[in-house]
Amino acid sequence: MCSASSNAKRGSSPTVREGVRSDVFAPSLTVGLLPRGQTPQFYVTTEPRPELTLNSCAGYYPILALKSRALGFLNILSFMGFATTAIHAGQEPDSAAGAVSIPIYQTSTYAQDGLGRHKGFEYARTSNPTRLALERNLAALEGAKFGYAFASGMAAIDATLRLVKAGDHVIVSDNTYGGTNRLFKRVLANYGIEFEFVDTSDVTNVESAIKDNTRMVFVETPTNPVMIVTDLKAVSDVAHAAGARVVCDNTFMSPYLQRPLEFGVDIVVHSTTKFLNGHSDGIGGAVVLNNEDDANWIAFIQNSAGAILSPFDSWLVMRGTKTLALRMEQHDKSGRAVAAFLEDHPKVQKIYYPGSKSHKQHDLAKRQQKGFGSMVSFDVGTLAAARTVLESVKLCTLAESLGGVETLVCHPATMTHASVAPEVRERLGITDGLVRISVGIEDTDDIIADVDQALSKIGK
């Protein structure tokens, strides 16, 4: 979905004059659109343009404004692809030493020049330069104006739910992450918030569940672990007609493969632990959005509740996003290959992967996503068979989590979704025989060979 102010409408470009690129610049959050087909060049505006919004609408180049220290407060607008944005957005060289990598500002407080005179930072819970750089980076990757980093994906989701209050009704994808299910049903429901879990892959279910007090629709697409896809535009249209916000957990796809805000979603949440970090060495979460009032409240919650991402973990995620485009290409390539192998394997009863033509929402996934990703689930029939596979792999690692460079396998029924009631798990397809694999970026043939030898042990 394309959203831009009157200063950046379809078919028009921002009022700019051609200028000289500064050798020293600092990325800001000012972003916008320029029509495709123009010769890429640099432009300089004479005033800040905070009203522009980053988009990747058909027919437009995304542009990212860069504040130049050398030229004063000027915005340099350049044509930015996803990989370029991932590497440069929010990543200005350090002003003190010129370090290309953002420093880890491991401090709890900041020296002030006098009463009420500081450099923009007062206390590290409220703001930290390393975390701020990451927040700008993540906002740019999702095409958002605002981004906030949290101590975990669950902390990010919890902060987002502070946008509703006691007496409000929230519609949730029924096959959502077990931790989300637990937070909603066993924690937040105790504070008067009404949660209703429905199959959001059928928009009529969402429409039927709408009430006068519905204030939010929370979707996960594709879902964890049976990979159900929700039509984000259709659900957003229904929710907005009822005056409700739409939140999407985009962890499984990452902004490289899916950008929910473009389909009308209001807020995107991530577990940065997964693909954004990509190296299985840090826990974190993020909230990105465009609405300024909601953003101000999220920022207030972030500071008040204090579930912030540490400077070191912020740096780890920034390290990860720099290679996100490259990693997701390989994740997607290997994910498709592993899914195709599993679909033809005699020991596998069923696979769950939107890239498979047998997936009932394959066409929707093709329209809504840039690729299909590396998350594949498959059913081998029984707990004993699943145990054999999981305990026989050699290259793959039996572990919780996903999205790392290494291939991880897990048993959702006893691991990621153990907190979900057994009868609900069974109804959703999370059987005792279900195995989930997060396909890494090792050589694809090696991953397939390992899974094949593990499957061959079933029944022996």
Residue numbers annotated as active site: 125, 177, 249, 274
Angle at 131 between CA 151 and CA 63, to 5 degrees: 120
SS3 content of the chain, % helix, strand, coil (to 5): 35, 20, 45
Angle at 113 between CA 111 and CA 118, to 5 degrees: 70
Answer yes or no: are the C-beta atoms of 81 and 60 closer than 8 Å: no
d(CA 140, CA 322): 13
Answer yes or no: are the C-beta atoms of 299 and 292 closer than 8 Å: no
d(CA 408, CA 143): 30
Continuous segment of H or E residues that includes residue 293: helix 292-305
Query: Among all chains, which residue has been given the structure tokens 């498959």?
Result: 378
Write out the two tokens for 176: 């959502």
d(CA 304, CA 309): 14
CB environment 190-224: b (16+ within 10 A), e (fewer): eeebbbbbbebbebebbbebbeeebbbbbbbbbbb
Angle at 38 between CA 32 and CA 40, to 5 degrees: 75
Amino acid letter, residue 184:
F
CB atoms within 10 A of CB 235: 28
